[in-house]
Amino acid sequence: MNTQDIDIFISRYLTGEASEEEKVQLEKWRKDDPENEKYFHEFETVWQLASLEYRLGKQVVSNTDKAWEKIRPKEVSKTKSVSWTQHLWWVAATIVIGLSAALLIFTQDTTIEMMKVSAKKVEEITLPDGTHVTLNKGSLLEYPQEFSGADRLVRLEGQAFFDVKRDPASPFIVDMTETQVKVLGTSFNIHSNPENREVEVYVTSGKVALIAKEKTNAKQKQIELEKGDIGVFLADKKKFIKETPKTANKMAWKTKTFQFDATPLPFVLEDLSLAYDVSFVIENTDLDNCTLTMSVQTPGTLKEMITAIELAMGITIEKKGIVYFVNGSCEE
């Protein structure tokens, strides 16, 4: 296939219009050469940026040479002039605007600046519209310096809690690789995991829609979630799951407070793992059946939590290297 054919195949794939035969050919082409796979991902990145420009109705100024090579910038940064190849920009932008040549001309007087925050620890961020975001360690948030156009669009990699400023005239959209979350005004937690291609949304107030992008080819396009719901999109299986939390601690990574009500020890340790970014191994499997009832309403450290659990359950939790090993027998 020549370059023009490849561009068309990738374009149709990204817009969800590719046939099964085209998907097979594109997959084979990507596997044939590492450079082909690199080109595909470069094309996809530019397509996403061009799509963002179109939705905002302004030019997104992005220092793609540095920002996208490193993927996750190390600090909040204002992006600079566009420097992707003209070929990729032309193709990507053409697809986004429906082959309208007039919209391929980007004017300097309509540029806006994009802000990027890559969190080395839990970060508190206030967006231009007053929306409050708590960004978890290791996550990336990208948003415009000012919102304009019909939507308030931001981009997320990782985990964040959003308390969205209500504006019925301008929906708030969180964009991820294969999904979007769309709301008017509510609060919710998103955990986007690119490694297993899963997105989890937990709603703490109001309603949200978890939407699968066209390129996922999911039969069900979206699910609506209300307060207390968890919605999960499994990209590999192209399906949604709606469930309820196993414990009351979905927001513990943010609050560092816990409520355990006859909670099985494996679930207790899972909550601690997510809250403090550590790993536990239960060496005595009899402990799997042990439960914990305890309320911690004052934010605590990991060390304080481990001590409290050891005393409450009569077990031992010992750190070896970077892993915590759990032993003993629980006291009923």
Enter the tokens of residue 100: 């309208």
pTM of the full structure: 0.64
pLDDT score at 112: 65
Burial of 236 (0-12, 13-18, 19+ CB in 10 A): exposed
**Domain check: are 230 and 259 in the same one?**
no
**CATH number of the domain where residue 210 is located:** 2.60.120.1440
More confident residue, 60 or 176: 176
Q: Which pLDDT value is given to residue 47?
A: 63
Q: What pLDDT is attached to residue 246?
A: 87
Q: Which residue has the higher pLDDT, 102 or 175?
A: 175
Does 299 score more than 80 pLDDT?
yes
Q: Same domain for 234 and 256?
A: no
Residue 131 belongs to domain spanning: 119-244
Is the pLDDT at 146 greater than 70, yes or no?
A: yes
Buried b (16+ CB within 10 A) or exposed e, 57-74: ebbbbbbbeebbeeeebe
- Confidence at 181, pLDDT banded by 50, 70, 90: very high
CB 123 within 8 A of CB 143: no
pLDDT digits (tens, 9 = 90+) for 93-138: 554 444 333 334 343 444 567 888 988 899 999 999 999 999 999 9
Beta-carbon count within 10 A of 178 CB: 18
pLDDT (0 to 100) of residue 1: 62
Mean pLDDT of the region 164-192: 91
Tokens at residue 24, please? 């097979």
Say yes or no to pLDDT of 281 above 50: yes
pLDDT (0 to 100) of residue 56: 47
Q: What pLDDT was estimated at residue 35?
A: 82
The DSSP code sequence of 61-122 is: E--HHHHHHHSS-SS-EE-----S-HHHHHHHHHHHTTS-GGGG---GGGEEEEEEEE-SS-
Q: What is the distance between the terminal CA atoms of the chain, rounded to a whole angstrom?
A: 68
Mean confidence (pLDDT) of the chain: 80
Which tops the pLDDT comparison, 119 or 15? 119
Strand runs labelled E in 98-197: 111-118, 123-126, 132-135, 140-144, 152-157, 159-163, 172-175, 179-183, 187-193
Specify the pLDDT at position 111.
Answer: 57
What percent of the chain stands above pLDDT 70?
77
Whether 288 and 311 map to the same domain: the answer is yes
Q: Which residue has the higher pLDDT, 4 or 241?
A: 241
- Bridge partners of 203? 188
Same domain, 257 and 240: no
Please give the pLDDT value at position 197: 85
- Starting at the edge strand found earlier in the chain, the sheet holding 198-205 runs 123-126, 132-135, 159-163, 187-193, 198-205, 230-234, 239-243
**CATH label of the domain that carries residue 314:** 3.55.50.30
- What is residue 310's predicted lDDT score, i.e. its pLDDT? 94
Could you give the number of structural domains in the chain? Answer: 3
The pLDDT of residue 5 is above 80? no
Domain-ending residue, one of 60, 82, 111: 111
